[in-house]
Structure 1
Amino acid sequence: MQPSIVLQKIRSGQTVITAKSCYTDPELVEMIASSGFDAVWICLEHKRVDVAMVYSLIQACRLGGADAFIRVRPSNYTDVLHLIEAGARGIMLPRVKHPDEAREVVRAMKFPPLGARGFDGIHAEADFGRIPPAEYLAKANDENFLAVQIEEPEVVPHIDEIAAIPGVDVLFVGPSDLTLGLGKFGKTDDPEMRAILEKVVTACKRHGKVAAIPCSSEQVKSYHAMGFRFFNVISDFRCVSTGMKAARAAVEI
């Protein structure tokens, strides 16, 4: 079993840097994974991806040496099991409004006594049956991580309770949806939004969890000073879009 790079960084007090893949191209995902990022964020919430392709994307992360960090659809948490078995190290849970939603996913991700996950030790996570069952059970519980997204106004009163849940490792703020829900789209410096960010950081510090946020590379230092330790700083879409614009502008006559 490949150990989780993200958890290694978290447990040693280091900063986590990830990149998002917007396209279902295993070669592109492998290139991102092999570029020095700790994890590649793959989104299944906003895209419908064939199961075989999802497996290929997870495999590309493994080959590139980064964690596969999968955002699942909020309406179907049963999707979690096959992703973990295929070798995804992290799960991102979007649109959470209540702590019970996070508890349900922890139960799906963790073997007893931490959860209620069923055993099937023949997949990539178990080194295709080559890891002894007892060792596999212990390693799987220790190497899988869950990031709960803080992006709904309804979840704000429950931030501390979610951070306290065993099996929740990261509180991942979604600035776009959170400011949208607050009626302040894009205003990440609004006092109400800043207060929520501080609440996330405080809850994470209190319960030994990690605060995460997507941002530009220029914003990392300021968020790091606030207490965030996990950043998504780029996506393949942004690289392609920025590169195309720059190339076209460079030859403007």
Structure 2
Amino acid sequence: MAGIRDVLRNTMKEKLARNEVVASMTVRLSRSIEIAQIAASAGFDTIYVDLEHNTLSIDTCCQICIAAQGIGITPLVRVPANTPEYICRVLDGGAMGVITPHVRSAAEARAMVELVKFPPLGHRSAGGALSHYGYRSFPLADTYAAMNDASSLVVMMETVAALENVEEIIATEGVDMLLIGSNDLCAEMGIPGRYDDPRLAQAFERSIAAARRVGKHVGIGGLANRDDLMTKFVKMGARYVSTGTDLAFLIGACAQRAKFVRDIG
């Protein structure tokens, strides 16, 4: 009989373990499961459903996550608040990991580990047979260990306080990746929208160096319209790229085709 590790997959973590670059699409507009197949067809490795910045319900979010699981797209969810009623429910509902905003210290990162990881790393409560492993039953000891390895805790680094504590945050056992929120971080540093300011590049450099020392990874967020900077930071060592939202992709393609027709005349 197959063990839980034979049926539990996280494509994103597998690619990161090989030091490959991961392409992610953010879901903010779509309310149906087709977006998972679209992401797969487009070649994305992962999606993250952004509950922080839209009105999607937890139920809709989890339906999208389950659809993504079945086709090899790793589903993550950015929660609107770092609390059990969001984190625990989306993890049990189908997410393979959570993105937790506004984590400012190692103590706050540790609190996230408590919610995301099963014992002995954390104190996540057992939710029974989950979609992640086909609603099958496995020994709890095997399940806890496999789920801790397969699930992802991605903490956002988007404040000056987080930058000052980045070494301790990324070294926290149970934290899998650091995602730099360039928009909020620049605003916090007093340089809103000034992505070419050297302080942003220095923040990436410091964060990537800290992650490398502990064998972890850094992701790029908030730079979807700056291919040059995404390229620069990937070459610097970042390995996860948030490429943009489904809404932005739709608007961009629509505007391009409308312009094409207007320009004909």
TM-score range, shorter chain: over 0.9
Give yes or no for the alignment of 1:113 onto 2:123: no
TM-score (norm 1): 0.93
Unaligned runs of 5+ in 2: 1-6
Query: Structure 2 residue aligned with 1:221, among 227, 231, 234?
Result: 231
Give yes or no for the alignment of 1:37 onto 2:27: no
RMSD: 1.7
Unaligned runs of 5+ in 1: none
Letter in 2 for 1:244: C
Query: Structure 1 residue aligned with 2:245, among 213, 235, 251?
Result: 235
Kept in 1: contact 2:82–2:100 (CA 8 A): no
Kept in 2: contact 1:19–1:232 (CA 8 A): yes
Q: What's the offset of the Cα at 1:154?
A: 2.0
State how 1:1-253 maps to structure 2 within 5 Å: 1-23=7-29, 24-214=31-221, 215-216=223-224, 218-219=227-228, 220-252=230-262, 253=265
Kept in 2: contact 1:201–1:228 (CA 8 A): yes
TM-score (norm 2): 0.89
Q: What's the offset of the Cα at 1:210?
A: 0.3
Letter in 2 for 1:91: V
Kept in 1: contact 2:82–2:112 (CA 8 A): no
Kept in 2: contact 1:18–1:37 (CA 8 A): yes
Count of residue correspondences: 253
Q: Secondary structure at the match of 2:70?
A: helix
Percent of counterpart pairs with the same letter? 26
Distance 1:221 1:191, change over 3 A: closer
Task: Provide the C-alpha distance between the structure 2 equivalents of 1:93 and 1:44, rounded to a whole number of angstroms.
Answer: 11
